[in-house]
Amino acid sequence: MQRRSSPNRWVAMSPADIERPRTADADMTDELSTLPPAHPFAQAVLFARGEIATGRAARAEGNDGRTRVCARRAVGIFLQTIAPHLPADPGTHAMANLRTVAESELLPAVVRDAATRLLGGARSIAADAPWSTDPLGDAITIINHYVASFGII
């Protein structure tokens, strides 16, 4: 797996680079589910974890736009990786993936609402439409729902 260290430079990442130890006081909505390596979604969670880590770094720098993009990409890479296990095609890019989640009547409202907020950006803020004040939390909510629903969906 690779991540951008700057706009034009990629560096190699190992799972140790993106795995964060879970603290006892960590909020469940702040962490992605931990899966055993043999779980069918383990690789997808690993990919998403890398985007979440990049998003946290962007948030620490005060870069809200990049934080939102990383959250969207985390959901996108997760859903595209688990697509063979889903009943319907989630789409070919992150925004299509989020629209699929937001429009699915089969998903709980909390998951659909998180996807709707992630779809919103600067124009949504200006238009007083739904937008996410915690894009990483919304992404984690969506991903954790799919992990918890494995075998049900």
Rounded CA separation 118/123 (Å): 12
The pTM of the full predicted model, rounded to 2 decimals, is 0.77
- Residues with Cβ within 8 Å of 89's Cβ and at least 6 positions away in sequence, in order, are 83, 100
**82-133 confidence digits (pLDDT tens):** 999 998 899 999 999 999 999 999 999 999 999 999 998 766 665 666 778 8
Q: Tell me what the mean pLDDT of segment 14-29 comes to.
A: 38
User: Could you state, in order of their start, the residue ranges of all structural domains in the chain?
Assistant: 40-148
